[in-house]
A and B are shown apart, each in its own frame.
Chain A
Amino acid sequence: MPTVFIPAPLRELSGGTQSVVLEARNVREIVYRLDAMFPGFKDRICIDGNISPSLQVSIDSVMTSKGMIAKVQPHSEVHFIPAIGGG
């Protein structure tokens, strides 16, 4: 099952838990399951049902642009990190 790291500012919702192993096939399932476990999680990282444009999702160190529909593998590691640009 994928391991999802809880962003530090949201650990107040998770009671300090830093990561969670949960069953999910894509980012949407991760977000909804985390929201069920830690109410308010989804509202903190989503806008209008999508991942906030100020964030990007890292799956196994690859920054996916697919947002909620991005697929995760059984042993994936998932992070929510700030979106960045370059020069």
Chain B
Amino acid sequence: MTTTQYRVIGTRPVRHDGADKVTGKAIYTADTKLPGMLAGFVLRSPHAHAKIISIDTSEAEATPGVHAVISNADFPNVEDKIADLGEGSVNLSYLSANCMAQKKVLYRGHAVAAVAATDVHIAEEAARKIKVEYEVLDSVTWVLDAMEENAPLLHEDLVTDSLGEKADKPSNVPVHLHFEKGDAATAFKEADVIVEREFKTATVHQGYIEPHAVVADYNEDGRLRIWTATQGSFTCRQQTAEILQIPLGNVLVTPCEIGGGFGGKITVYLEPTAALLSKKSGRPVRIAMTRADVFEASGPTPGSFMRVKLGAKNDGTLIAGEAWLAYDAGAYPGGMIGPGCMCVFSCYDIDHAIVDGYDVCLNKPKTSAYRAPGATQVAFATEQLVDEIAQKLGMCELEIREKNAVKEGSRRVDGPVYPPIGLVECLDALKQSEHWNTPLEGANQGRGIAAGFWFGCGLKSSAACTVNSDGTINLLEGSTDIGGSRTAIAMQLAEVLGLEANDINPQVGDTDTAGYTDVTGGSRVTFATGMAAYEAGRDLQQQMRTLAADLWDCSTDDITIGEDGVFSGNGKAVGFKALAVELFAAGEHLVGRATVAPECPTNGFGAQIADVEVDPETGKVTVLRYTTIQDAGKAIHPSYVEGQLQGGTVQGIGWALNEEYFYRDDDTMANASFLDYRMPTMLDVPMIDTIIVETGNPEHPYGVRGVGETPIVPPPAALANAIYNATDTRMTELPMSPPKLWKAMQSDQASE
């Protein structure tokens, strides 16, 4: 556990952007207004799967007020090329075709044309006049159906790749992954108890409050300026430039304030379209999605089918695991099956395991990341089986987890071994918690626990700090601030320099002003961009040390810098601010800078406790009490860590109990609104209690781990375990909504 006491880190200063956010002054993309700006509207496919025979835009173009109409013919022909986007890679031809359908539409909501007009109503009216002739094709939206040999093919040239080996005929399965550790077949023969079940999870959406929006201004000189809601301005710039086949340096992306992303605002959807409309009209163009567009045409997270098996000895030691996983990729390859495979047994030290995973294309929107992408699904399966084994052996569900929890040196099923990690400490915190030690005794009530894991990543971040004449600092960094990261980053700079958080003025720069910075995702920003700010502070200190030597008439080696940031030498001891003022007066203007690229995973582990009450008449689940425990490494700003833990948990509760894409018989989405897509509100959940564990990450100067993703992993499993303990009904399908749970309870009662 970390014990170092800091001045700034671990405190809870008011966030720098707080006043703007709560008074409505913060500028979001849809607030952006430029002279002469037009409104864009995207015409979308009404069909789940169809060939585009022809598109006639003539009537739309003749509509008064219309300035530009574009369709597939206006998009450059992008060849199959894999682009590295910093966090993952993408096939550019798929990315482009997802922005604007080329020969086929692959899901309802797929963009087929777009109009820019003097207002959005004219643009929509004109778009409705575009005549698209379709040849409707058979479609498929369930992952197992899409894997069938006679399933409708989405991509006629797509063959399964099994680590470089290509199948000999097309299918909807672009990737088959396979992992083996030890000898699972033999280990299962030696197991005293084996449990195996099949699980299904529904497609769900991140549900960010702010719909996707963009403003694009394409200059006659070829410069393109974009204002957008993105989790990564640099990856947005690269995707847009690659799709439009223009030089990267010609594109300037300004990340506006963002109303949530959770992984869903990394891929571009509207930017190339708005840019082409702007280029064609010669005017700036703004496009904003409706909520229905967001559901139908952005990137939800995969639905899945999973068959998972665990074997244990009589003493509760897990010795064998087996998983067969099939995840939706959506319309184009590249879903979340990789991390699904790598996370299915990530919390437990199992010597023998085998995992097969399949990425499956089907007629739904291309899936996107969603907090710990791919991990929540497999935790729903594995964490229930761990409970079942404990029940068969008469063990406590916490005891079996403590017995098998991974620790430093445990080997993952995909190979690497863990460095120092904090699952054992999280389980111990759970064991000591007031929640765990308070009995739950009401009728139809049950308690469940589950563990969760997400890798967390480093990637690239930059920071620059300019010293003002009064010793305060303007900090420029490139990470879109979703959860208070400006302040968490500024606090790390303040700590190293011996300043207060409000001495730092943090700003998120655009792609022309900030140094290269990867996405706000992967639980990386407080870790990596915070590290960049720390290193920029160190850079500043070294510059000041050299300059102070001149001022104080001594050598640089005579000057030391204390942990409190005080410079000492030649009989003097001066804090950062005073020295900065002195140096400014002497004509020195200081800028510290740093770029970092840490490559180590931050390994975020957590554990959660859920108490529920199930109405036996309706199947409705009421969450009575919930505690989320997580190893943050070191909580820079505990309130923001608690916010991440609570937010992720509530999203996981929604995923568990209510959220799902409903499809009609024609494979079009039936509930593309917040009225019918049931996300939890404050009225649906109790206060989420949090316990922050701090084991310290040796790879970060202050011990930070990422915390943004792990909290969404355990909720469906913890709630399923709680429901079982309340009802004796084991739920293997998400969401565990009232009708599904009621039917399952009725079925169990009938079979008793």
Contact = CB atoms under 8 A, between A and B. Distances in A.
A83 B415 contact: no
Contacts of B164: 10, 43-45, 52
Contact of B601 (A8, A9, A18, A63): A63
Given A61-B418, A63-B600, A86-B373, A81 B162 contact: no
Interface string A12-54: 0000001000000000000000000000000111010000111
A77 B341 contact: no
A86 B524 contact: yes
Interface in B190-223: 206
Interface size of A as a range: 20 to 34
Interface in A49-71: 52-54, 58, 61-65
A52 B177 CA distance: 14
A11 B599 CA distance: 27
Contact of B523 (A47, A58, A86): A86
B188 interface: no
B162 A65 contact: no
B735 interface: no
A39 to B, nearest CB: 13
A37 B639 CA distance: 54
B599 A87 contact: no
B149 interface: no
A85 B414 contact: no
Interface in B510-558: 521-524
Chain B at the A interface: mostly helix, strand, loop or mixed?
Answer: loop
B415 A87 contact: no
A14 to B, nearest CB: 12
Interface string B135-171: 0000000000000000000000000011111000000
B10 interface: no
B370 interface: yes
Contacts of A5: 415
A87 B372 contact: yes
B16 interface: no
Nearest to B85: A85
Chain A at the B interface: mostly helix, strand, loop or mixed?
Answer: mixed
A47 B80 CA distance: 13
B414 A79 contact: yes
B89 A65 contact: no
Contacts of B523: 86
B338 interface: yes
Contacts of A54: 82, 89, 161, 175
Contact of A82 (B87, B338, B597, B709): B338
B178 interface: yes
Given A9-B178, A79-B416, A65 B599 contact: yes
A62 to B, nearest CB: 5
A10 B416 contact: no
Task: Select the residue from B338, B418, B456 with max chain A CB neighbours within 10 A.
Answer: B338
Contact of A84 (B161, B162, B262, B338): B338
Nearest to A65: B599
Nearest to B356: A8
B99 interface: no
B684 interface: no
Task: Select the residue from B206, B339, B524 with max chain A CB neighbours within 10 A.
Answer: B339
Contacts of A61: 416-419, 600-601
A64 to B, nearest CB: 6
B457 A86 contact: yes
Interface in B40-89: 82, 84, 87-89
A63 B79 CA distance: 29
B342 interface: yes
A81 B415 contact: yes
Interface in B317-360: 338-339, 341-342
B82 A84 contact: no
Nearest to B521: A86
Contact of B369 (A11, A64, A86): A86
A85 B368 CA distance: 10
Interface string B435-457: 00000000000000000001111
A1 B653 CA distance: 48
B341 A85 contact: no
Contacts of A87: 206, 261-264, 368-373, 521-522, 708-709
A58 to B, nearest CB: 5
A77 B164 CA distance: 22
Given A8-B180, A47-B82, A79 B415 contact: yes
Interface string B398-436: 000000000000000011111100000000000000000
Nearest to A10: B163
A79 B416 CA distance: 7
A8 B88 contact: no
A81 B416 contact: yes
Given A9-B162, A9-B165, A83-B338, A62 B600 contact: yes
Contacts of B662: none
Contact of A86 (B82, B89, B178, B454): B454
Contacts of A79: 414-416
A28 to B, nearest CB: 17
B28 interface: no
B179 interface: yes
A41 to B, nearest CB: 9
Interface of A: 5, 7-11, 18, 43-45, 47, 52-54, 58, 61-65, 77, 79, 81-87
7 contacts: A5-B415, A8-B178, A10-B163, A45-B164, A83-B88, A85-B88, A87-B262
Query: Across chains A and B, which 10 residue pairs bring their CB atoms closest together, nearest first?
Result: A87-B263, A86-B522, A44-B164, A82-B338, A85-B88, A79-B415, A53-B89, A87-B369, A9-B163, A8-B180
Given A65-B599, A87-B521, 8 more contacts: A54-B161, A58-B415, A62-B600, A79-B416, A81-B414, A81-B415, A81-B416, A82-B339
